[in-house]
Structure 1
């Protein structure tokens, strides 16, 4: 895994106003938790933190320099603005070398689904336990050659050395189902229309048809 060194500063302003001022200064409000110590309120340089995540992933190991002290930490919770995307707040977990921690790592699918098959990715992350300073970047699941009806459970995934599964081994991650046919899709649409009570409009009469019928009626009289 990647390790990034960042200079952090102790925060003395709290609340929404203090957080806004911290962000305007190009920093991210953060709190360091763990090891039974009181939470430590710090600010991180926003640009450097974004680069750390971009290159090291969500579980990047951070070496924080805070007022002469050095603290290893990993991101535990990251809040971003839903529209503008900037970092609003970060929770960091203090760790030590050799300490085991539980994190979620991304799942990458490799291989091609069989003809007529449909890939169903139930979860895109897997919960594992590993050394805090040796967290894996992710795990790969190959679907090459998996027949329709196949399933991949968490317990069957090959994990990196030194990593163990933290969740239920029977947890379903991936399945291969049969792709729907055109007839299946038409039937689903028809069923949805019926459930919603949608009434189709009658086809428009060709222009002039009504007047022709009226003329015919008049001639008959």
Structure 2
């Protein structure tokens, strides 16, 4: 379930790229808090504490904003593409008992039957849950699953109090027969034939014949 971590937050009045860069240089994170019909509040959060709290998806934070506590769901986390440091966070005001719609990752565990291939068609599913009881992931077991096994969204085992928003008929996990090396070679040959690609079988002998005189001249 989502962690509720107390994060001290400071209101800020400086905006723009320059202000954001200064905040990051101080090892802090710029953020904005909105929702429930209130005006957006621009905040500065402590960098390390925020990074630790946002290690889980859909983290719910308890913000201490100048002495007042406010629950907030991390809706959008922008990260540096190289350093992976947090650049900015969008936070949505939530209340205890309130239900929210969020995307939750699908986690596949177990080993399927031999000579099978497991593909995840939907890496995330959308669910509705209480803001303070959002599961970190939805687990799907493929232990011993044979080729032809399919897991639809409606077949997922959801925690109590969680409802599915994604279409129940959406294919989430698909177990198929693994393709052998021989079958891959046959498919490649068939594709080349359809494309009109031909291999010249005389290339190798011709190269050997061309090398032969050079070898004789070396011996002399």
Query: How large is the RMSD of aligned CA atoms in angstroms?
Result: 2.6
TM-score (norm 2): 0.87
- CA 1:59–1:206: 2 relative to 1, 3 Å: same
Q: Deviations over 1:6-46 (max 9, x none)?
A: 00111212111111111111111111121011111111111
Q: Is 1:183 the equivalent of 2:186?
A: no
2:11 alignment partner in structure 1: 10
- CA 1:153–1:213: 2 relative to 1, 3 Å: same
d(CA) in 1 for partners of 2:105, 2:198: 42
d(CA) in 2 for partners of 1:87, 1:200: 56
Q: Note the residue ranges of structure 1 that are not aligned, 5 or more in a row.
A: 215-221
Q: Is 1:77 the equivalent of 2:76?
A: yes
d(CA) in 2 for partners of 1:193, 1:78: 49
1:141-220 aligned within 5 A: 141-190=140-189, 191=191, 202-203=203-204, 204-205=207-208, 208-210=211-213
Of stretches 202-211 and 41-50 in structure 1, the one that deviates more from structure 2 is 202-211
- CA 1:13–1:208: 2 relative to 1, 3 Å: same
TM-score (norm 1): 0.86
- CA 1:198–1:11: 2 relative to 1, 3 Å: farther
d(CA) in 2 for partners of 1:200, 1:83: 47
- CA 1:123–1:196: 2 relative to 1, 3 Å: farther
**Number of equivalences:** 212
Q: What is the SS of the residue equivalent to 1:30?
A: strand
Q: What is the SS of the residue equivalent to 2:127?
A: strand
d(CA) in 1 for partners of 2:196, 2:88: 43
Q: What is the SS of the residue equivalent to 1:186?
A: helix
Q: Note the residue ranges of structure 2 that are not aligned, 5 or more in a row.
A: none
Q: What is the SS of the residue equivalent to 1:22?
A: helix
Q: Deviations over 1:108-165 (max 9, x none)?
A: 2122111111001112222110111111222211112322111101011110011000
1:24 alignment partner in structure 2: 25
Q: Deviations over 1:41-100 (max 9, x none)?
A: 11111110111123xx12221000112221100111111111111111111111000111
d(CA) in 1 for partners of 2:198, 2:73: 53
Of stretches 204-213 and 146-155 in structure 1, the one that deviates more from structure 2 is 204-213
1:117 alignment partner in structure 2: 116
d(CA) in 2 for partners of 1:86, 1:108: 24
